Every structure is written in structure tokens, then in C-alpha cells.
Amino acid sequence: MLLVAGVAAYLLLDARASRAAERDLVASYAKAWSSKDFSTMHGELGDEVSGRLDEARFTEIMRDALTTATARSVTTGEPERTDDGFAVPVVVRTRLFGTIRGTVAVPLEGSGDEAGIRWSRRMAFPGLRAGEALTRTTEMPARADILARDGSTVLAGGADRTSDVPNIASQVVGALGTAVDTDRSSLRALGVPADAKVGVSGLERILNPQLVGTPGGTLKAGDRVIAEVRPKKARAVRSSISIAVVKAAAAAQANAPDASGTTVIDSRTGEVLGFQGSAWSALQPPGSTMKIVTAAAALEDGVAKTTTTYPRQTEAEGFGIQNADGESCGGTLVESFAHSCNSVFVPMGAKLGPKRLVEMAERFGFNEKTAGIPGAQISTIPEASTMDDRQAAVSAIGQGTVQATSLQIALMTATIANGGRQPELTFLRTSRTAETKRVISAKTASGMRQLMAAVIADGTGESARVPISGIVTGGKTGTAELATTQGAQCDAEAAARAQQQQPDKVAEAPEPVSACGNVDGKSTTAWMSAFAPLTRRGDVDPVAVGVLRARNFQGGGTAAPVARQVLTAALGR
């Protein structure tokens, strides 16, 4: 009798342990579903299923079902035992169809610790039956209107996207078409079908999530309707765009002979107040606007102070890089920055070294995508591991293979104006202070504002000064050489080109125009970084601008006046 009782007790305990192991298996599967951890879910499948259905295909099936339903989240409840496994309550919250509730049967193969889930396609979504697939038909609502920041001027409205200010709208609105490849996944998650007409450039693309509205449609399991909803048009979207700012930028850049770009940012709110031309699609060497990065790194690391004094020289000794027009340049760091002395910043870049220079550039936004602006070109600086000190020295003045957009220069400028914090950009009208990331300390930012104020007060950027009483402007000019424009190297290169272009059978022929002297302006790209006021003044936020004029003389001559006109318009908005 004792033996029989002992065996019975053992079998009872073993059965309980076996049932507990099975429950734990299903609970783990359900928990993984809630977090969309399809890898863990696949790991809980039985050998028979996992042998014919690899993890990648399983993940694709499960993810497609949730995407079809426009699922935002999945919540699973406690498993309840059934005759052949468990029943798991599932709640799916969707973007289009509200909340869908159901119970998914989870059968098992094997038992106890050897059990696995006998998965089938009907388990991809609550309510599916054997042989059914989840499908969705979609009806898009009319696209919402885009308004300027004043809340009344229509930038793009109605089915034909007409505007109250067509000349201004043409600068910023963009176009509609079939979704760009990189946008399809995010649009599909919003319930937008692949063939829908959506924004493919400009504000239309940037504001797609706000403009598409809520698609309507029917969610079916096979032929059965699970959920149905009518399409709902979104409210008109009040953008951050200032008509006055865009008008000023377009007018000021109208005479640009090559690619141009202007980006204007409220440094506190992160609002993009306006943009023009190739604001984030044209990449050019940033020239001396890169000295913002170099000076910030030097101040942050204690390599220099605003009062540090440098010898007055015509070139960076040991590097063969001259100052603009071969001028003698130096003095305090403030003076050297104001007059953009290569003789100071080239050796400073070498002293910082590749690692520190690249780190600071990346903190300002180089080598990464700009959040919120799909399709924007990435401003780049070579990886530190690929540079030596000499290459770092050249990169420190925005030459070599460094590339930037007007957007990047505006972001750097806004960061300085905002006390060293880079604002998260938005194209929606707001008065809230933006989320930020700390790039440099407040102390370093204060030093940079001093340097940049000197550029406008008594340096290369005087033409960017805003003509409004009590408003102090800060900035940095940039002139990037696209071809050597001065010195013995320039003369030698010009002579070599002339020799190569001499006709074979002509004894004498006119020499081609030389880049030396840059008489046509096409050998340099002009830049201007500027902001005003220098710090917040009452309820007036500092506005930052990045101006690009490709192949158009010097920054102080052609880009600075653009910045002045744009900032003046922005501060009067």
C-alpha cells in the first residue's frame, strides 16, 4: 500500500510539474508577442513547425498581420488551459480600427519540458480561422491643407494644392506622388496604401503624418469583416513657416549663379521658420564656418581661451596654407576668429587632433541624419581613424573632404544661440521650448557668442549685421576653395592646365582663365552663419540662419547680405 501511495504521489507531482512547464511555455510566448519579440516566439515553437518555418519567415508573417491591422500595440492576458493546449486573450490596439479583442487558441505538441507550440497561420491575429488571411481595403480621406505660421494663409490646399501665395509656396511646399522607398514602411504603419498619393518633397513630405488624416477601410479575416471605419480628414496643419522669411530668402538668393540654400531656425522652439533652394540637398565644403566647430572644441577642452594671443602671420607655418588674400592675421582668439585667420585655426586643428575634432563635429550633427527631415543629405567629416594631424588641420577650416548643407550650418548656429543646446527641429507652429541635446557647455557657448559677435562688429561678416536698434548680431563667414586661388601652387596649377589645353598644331593660343585671383567667383563657395539677437531679448528668441551660395565669391561679400535680409524679416515676423 505504501509503495502504491508513493507512486501515486510521484505521478501527481510529475503531472503538476509537466502542466506548470506547459503553462510557462505559453506564458513566455504570449509575453513575447506583447513586446513584438518574434525571435523569442519562434524559439517556443515545436520541432515540427520550426523545422519547416524559419525565424525570418515567421517574423514576416506575424509582422505583416500587425501592419495590415495598423496595430499600435498588442496586449496578452493569462493563458487558460483547454483540451489541447491553452487559450490566450489578446487585445490589439490599432490606428485605424480601434481596439480589437479576441482569444487565440495555442495548441501544443509534446508535453511537459518537451512541449512546443503547434503554430499555424490562424494564430497570427485574434479572430482568424484556419485557411483565412487577414486583409485590409483602404479609402483615403482628402489631404489636409497646409497653413503658414499666421494660421490663415494657405500654402497648399484642396485636391489641386492651390496656394494663396504661389511664389512663396513654390519654395517650400514640395510635390505629391507615389511614396519614396524610404517612407513606405512608416506610411504603411499609418494605414496608407502603397499606391496612395503622398508628399514626396518639401513640406508635403515632411508633414505626411499630419496631412494624410485617418484612412478608412475594412479589415477582413477571409470573407468575414472584423472591423470597418470611415475615412477622416485631418485638420488643417499650421506650419512654422513665415511668409516674410521665405519671401526674403527667395528674393535675396534670386541672383545666386549656382546652387543656393537657406535654412532659418528659431533657436529656442526649434521651429524651421523658412527654407529656400537646396537647403538640405546641396553639399559643399563649409570653409571657415567649420571654425565654429574648431573654436568650440578648443574652448571646451581648454586648448584656448578667448584671451589667448596668437602671432600675426600671413600663413600657417609648416602647413603652407595662407590667410585670405595673404593678409597678416592674428591677435587674441576673438580677433583671430573675427578675421578668420587660417594661420591660427589650421595649427589649432592639428593640436586638437582628428579624434577630438571629429567628436565635436559629430556632436554638432555631422555624420548623422537630421531627425524630422526625410531625405536630407548627411553633412560629413572623415572618420578620425582615416586622418592624420595634417588632415585634421585642413578639416578644421572646412576644406579637404568635409561637406555640409545649409541646414547643418543653421543647426550649428542655433546651438550656439541656444546656450550650447541643439534644439529638436519642428515644422509645426509652437511656442513651447524644444527638446534639446547638450553639445557644448553654457560657458563655451558664451565664449562662442563673444567670438561670433566680433565677426559682425569688426570682422569679415559686417554685411550680415541686422539694422534693428538694440539687436546684436553674431555669425561666421565661410569661403571654401574649390580650386587653388592664390600662391605659388595656384600659379603652377594654372600653368599646367594651360599647357595641357594648348592645341597641338597652334604655336600660340590664348591661355584658359585661371582660378588665381578668383576673378569670376566660381572657384569658391560662399557661406554665412548668423543669428540675432545674441541672446533672448524679452520674448524675442534668437533666430539662426545658414546661407549657402555655391561658386559665388566670398561669404562676407555674397552670403552675408542674404543673412542680413533674412534675419531682419524673421525678427519682424
Closest CA to 571 of 489, 493, 455, 473: 473
Q: Which of 203, 237, 271 is the last residue of a domain?
A: 237
Q: Which of 189, 210, 237 is the last residue of a domain?
A: 237
Helices (H), 115-225: 166-172, 184-189, 202-206, 208-211
Closest CA to 184 of 374, 369, 38, 373: 374
Residues 524 and 422 in one domain: yes
CATH code assigned at 57:
3.10.450.100
Which pLDDT tens digits describe the chain residue by residue (573 residues)? 544 445 444 444 455 788 999 999 999 999 999 999 999 999 999 999 999 999 999 999 999 999 999 999 999 999 999 988 999 999 999 988 999 999 999 999 999 999 999 999 999 999 999 999 999 999 999 999 999 999 999 999 999 999 999 999 999 999 999 999 999 999 988 889 999 999 999 999 999 999 999 999 999 999 999 999 999 999 999 999 999 999 999 999 999 988 999 999 999 999 999 999 999 999 999 999 999 999 999 999 999 999 999 999 999 999 999 998 899 999 999 999 999 999 999 999 999 999 999 999 999 999 999 999 999 999 999 999 999 999 999 999 999 999 999 999 999 999 999 999 999 999 999 999 999 999 999 999 999 999 999 999 999 999 999 999 999 999 999 999 997 665 566 656 655 655 565 544 444 434 444 456 677 888 899 999 999 999 998 899 999 999 999 999 999 999 999 999 999 999 986
CATH code assigned at 196:
3.90.1310.10
DSSP structure string for 40-108: HHHHTB-HHHHHHS-HHHHHHHHHHHHHHTTEEEEEE---EEETTEEEEEEEEEESSS-EEEEEEEEEE
Residues 214 and 277 in one domain: no
Residues 229 and 257 in one domain: no
d(CA 495, CA 483): 14
What is the domain range of residue 218? 140-237
Q: Which of 237, 264, 284 is the last residue of a domain?
A: 237
Residue 189 has a pLDDT of 84
CA–centroid distance for 83 within its chain: 53
Indicate whether 14 belongs to any domain.
Answer: no
CATH code assigned at 428:
3.40.710.10
Residues 166 and 101 in one domain: no
Cα separation of the two ends of the chain: 97
Closest CA to 274 of 142, 429, 123: 429
Closest CA to 138 of 220, 204, 200, 207: 220
> Can you name the residues that pair with 380 across neighbouring β-strands?
403
Indicate whether 8 belongs to any domain.
Answer: no
pTM for the complete prediction? 0.82
Indicate whether 560 belongs to any domain.
Answer: yes
Closest CA to 20 of 113, 124, 146: 113
Which string of b and e fits 49-79 if b means at least 16 CB within 10 Å? bbeebeeeebbebbeebbebbbbeebebeeb
Q: What is the DSSP letter of 320?
A: T
Report residue 558 as a C-alpha cell: 555674397
Residues 292 and 381 in one domain: yes
d(CA 123, CA 62): 9
d(CA 436, CA 421): 6
Helix, strand, or coil (residue 536): coil
Residues 314 and 363 in one domain: yes
Most distant CA atoms of the chain, gap in Å: 124
C-alpha distances in Å from residue 90, one per residue of 106, 124, 343, 350: 12, 11, 68, 61
d(CA 114, CA 462): 79
Residues 151 and 297 in one domain: no
Element (H, E) at 218: strand 216-221
Residues 176 and 47 in one domain: no
Report residue 357 as a C-alpha cell: 575634432
- Determine phi and psi for 496, rounding to 5 degrees: -65, -40
CB atoms within 10 A of CB 250: 20
Residues 161 and 253 in one domain: no
Residues 424 and 457 in one domain: yes
C-alpha distances in Å from residue 111, one per residue of 11, 16, 23, 29, 316: 14, 12, 11, 16, 78
Indicate whether 278 belongs to any domain.
Answer: yes
d(CA 252, CA 273): 16
C-alpha distances in Å from residue 427, one per residue of 170, 242, 390, 394, 571: 16, 11, 40, 35, 18
Indicate whether 7 belongs to any domain.
Answer: no
Indicate whether 66 belongs to any domain.
Answer: yes
Residue 490 has a pLDDT of 61
d(CA 33, CA 407): 41
Residues 454 and 559 in one domain: yes
Number of domains in the chain: 3
d(CA 274, CA 279): 10
Indicate whether 488 belongs to any domain.
Answer: yes
Phi-psi region of 249 (alpha: psi -120 to 50; beta: other; left: phi over 0): alpha
Helix, strand, or coil (residue 132): coil
Residues 218 and 342 in one domain: no
Indicate whether 341 belongs to any domain.
Answer: yes
